[in-house]
Amino acid sequence: PVFMDWNLDDPPAIDPGDLSAYRRVRDESKAKVSELLEMLARPYGPQYKKNVMFLCNHNSCRSQMADGWLRSLRGNSSVGVASAGIVGGTAVKEGAITVMQEAGVDISAYTSDAMADFKPEDFDVVISCCGCGSKLDGDKEAWKQRPVFMDWNLDDPPAIDPGDLSAYRRVRDESKAKVWELLKTVV
């Protein structure tokens, strides 16, 4: 549950007779509702009891698959999720989209986002999908200081796949198993 105190003025108590206070409060209410709807549309945030961030170098494959699995497997659990790239987003790899669709999870509309677009304090759990925890030093150290930080060290399918998507499928399945285990601990 999310509680927000909008602290709007009471128009009947303050309107000078020209309805200006009503109009102002109407416009303020509209802006607040828009903010609320935007927040509720995000797959993570204060509307969830726990929030998980999947990090990877580019947010193009492993973190996207883990993100898709968590959204798919969480059911009614109050667990929010996002994923991002440490060195900036690129694009979601076609191989990742294909093998996730084979498993019934559609990540084709996911975007490749940069870690700089998120705040560590919004997340209770941070997972490094690629063994990139060592890249989270200096100004990025806060990501490793969340209540739970794990480094899954999944192989990079684009770098090792022989062209038949077998590496993508193996990492997809490893990711699913790890997400199931994660859900058992955060729910």
Which residues are catalytic, by number?
56, 130
Burial pattern 129-154, b for ≥16 Cβ within 10 A else e, equals bbbbbebbeeebeebbebeebebbeb
CA dist 169 and 154 (Å) reads 12
Question: Roughly what angle, to the nearest 10 degrees, separates helices 94-102 and 166-186?
Answer: 70
Find out whether 187 and 79 touch, Cβ atoms under 8 Å. yes
Give the number of residues written for the chain. Answer: 187
